[in-house]
Structure 1
């Protein structure tokens, strides 16, 4: 049997590193949800990275989100990256509603 290793996407350093990075809209520990899709996932921000065209289609801040145990995609992935324009903050009442709607 042949050993197979997962492929790592190519990584390229940008030719010019920005002198300033955008201000974060979301912070570590903050609850967020994907709002542009039906039954969007939700969870807590656990990381932030900045990407440029060399490694990602969308340049800017991307947030690593630990999906809540009741988030729709949790059975197939524990964490997911979200582009800043695809997520929004969750207030406590909205979070409780989402947790109650997904069994």
Structure 2
């Protein structure tokens, strides 16, 4: 049986959050996905059965990007760390060296 950390051991036994405030992330893609910027995070007990004891997980408050599909009806939403990934950045477009003289 897993025992919850005692109050004195609690901070030492919890891993640091995977994503920092200000990080651009998205929900792991489904048929559609939302994305935005992390503006906060909290540590919550995870869903466990009583005989397993408490376990903890990070949850993130994501402010949705203006072009995110759900932004029409909500500005921000909570997402579990396991359901989140870094938002892939758009490739930077560079000029073709052959076109620079044009």
* TM-score, normalising length: structure 2: 0.66
Gaps of 5+ in 2: 49-55, 92-102
1:68 to 55, 65, 68: 65
Gaps of 5+ in 1: 1-13, 95-103
2:11 corresponding residue in structure 1: 19
Task: Tell me how far apart the structure 1 counterparts of residues 70 and 33 of structure 2 sit (CA, whole Å).
Answer: 9
RMSD over aligned Cα, in angstroms?
Answer: 2.3
Q: How many residues end up aligned between the 2 structures?
A: 78
* TM-score, normalising length: structure 1: 0.65
Shift of 1:91: 3.1
The structure with the largest alpha-carbon Rg is 2
How do 1:1-103 residues align onto structure 2 when only pairs under 5 Å count? 16-17=6-7, 18-20=10-12, 21-53=14-46, 57=47, 59-93=56-90
